[in-house]
Amino acid sequence: MEVEDRAQLCFPQFPNTSCRKPLSPWPQTLVINITLYFISLITVTLNLLIIISISHFRQLHTPTNILLLSLAVSDFLVGLLLMPGEIFRKTSCWFFGDLVCFLYNYLSTIITVSSIVDMVLISVDRYVSICDPLHYTTKVTVNRVKLCVCLCWLYSVSYSFLYLKDVLTQPGRYNSCYGECVLVIDNISVTIDLVLTFLVPVTVIIALYLRVFAVAVSQARAMRSHITAVTLQLSVTPKAKKSELKAARTLGVLVAAFLICFCPFYSVSLAGDSLVNAPSASYVPFVFYCNSCLNPVIYALFYPWFRKSVKLIVTLQILQPGSSETNML
């Protein structure tokens, strides 16, 4: 009996302090793992295509696409690091030690915060584009957007360090036994985190897009009311406005999908469950992580340049000299 009990321990050599191996029906665990790893693989593949597309084709080096590139990098890291790490942590013993556990949680926070800030920046970009189109090209330049992206990641790294600094001083102090990786944050930090990474960003995103769609509706009405205007106005101005409105709708879908996947991620904390590894929150992070797989699908549905670039990448035409100058729009 003692031998059998030891076999169920993560570290049989430490019978008094070792955690027990997660017990769950193996068919169910196998199906869940295969599904989640498949989503992880798809997430990595699709976002890698986005990164290659925007990075390689010079015509895609626009302010909006640079923001999408930053978001794609976050999504790529979610599929490459966070999804597999979360699957392993939920279904197996943690054999990598307390320091690696801290680094995993640190990276998880950095990537999550950067995704949130990216969505805020995308909302601001669309707001300026629709609500102040005459000054958009002067206000939103490629260099300014690149600076904003750099500041976004710098902020994410700094914020995550401050958020987890207490855990860094003594990694693993909240572990009840050897073989687990848990993250427990005090109530004050949880409250501050909810305000800075949930309530404020969500409020800003929703407010900006409500304004964007209000202006978009008024522009659409104005376009219809001036349908008998001069030929130049009919052929140029409405077409330009139509392009901006379409971009606003596309990114509106992107933001809506983000909010749908994002809200459950913080609902656990709002309910007072600050222990990420609690049974009630076991697979909640995957709801948010699945958004990283949805974003490229949205691009494929709404952006013709993405479909065209995927074709060029898959057929290896991007390896040809001068392929970066290909007309993608």
| CA dihedral over 101, 175, 171, 97, signed as positive or negative | negative
Domain limits at 279? 2-18+28-324
Q: How high is the pLDDT of residue 76?
A: 96
Instruction: Assess contact for 60 and 51: CB atoms under 8 A.
Output: no
pLDDT tens digits for range 247-272: 667 767 877 888 888 887 777 656 65
- Domain assignment present for 106: yes
Average pLDDT, the chain: 82
Q: What's the pLDDT score for residue 173? A: 78
AA identity, residue 104: Y
Low-confidence ranges of the chain (pLDDT < 50): 1, 3-4, 230-240, 273-277, 280
Q: Is residue 131 part of a domain?
A: yes
Task: Write down the pLDDT at residue 97.
Answer: 86
**Domain contains 246:** yes
- pLDDT value at position 243? 59
Which CA distances in Å does 224 have to 238, 240, 253? Answer: 9, 14, 24
Domain count, the chain: 1
Q: Is 91 inside a domain boundary?
A: yes
Long-range contacts of 97-102 (CB under 8 A, 24+ apart): 97/172, 98/171, 98/172, 98/175, 98/181, 99/171, 101/171, 101/172, 101/181, 102/164, 102/167, 102/168, 102/171, 102/172
Helix-, strand-, coil-residue percentages of the chain, each rounded to 5? 75, 0, 20
Q: How many CA atoms lie within 13 A of 321 on its CB side?
A: 0
DSSP one-letter code for 166 = H
Which residues lie closer than 8 Å to 320 by C-beta, 6 or more apart? none
- Is the residue at 202 inside a domain? yes
pLDDT computed for residue 273 by the predictor? 47
State residue 272's pLDDT score: 52
Assign residue 60 the CATH number of its domain. 1.20.1070.10
Q: What is the pLDDT of residue 269?
A: 59
Q: pLDDT digit string (tens) for 50-62?
A: 999 999 999 999 9
Does residue 23 form part of some domain?
no
Residue 49, pLDDT score: 94
* Model confidence pLDDT, tens digit, residues 155-212: 999 999 999 988 878 777 778 888 888 888 888 888 888 899 888 998 998 898 888 8
Residue 329 is assigned to a structural domain of this protein: no
pTM given for the model: 0.86
Instruction: Provide the 3-class DSSP secondary structure of residue 178.
Output: strand
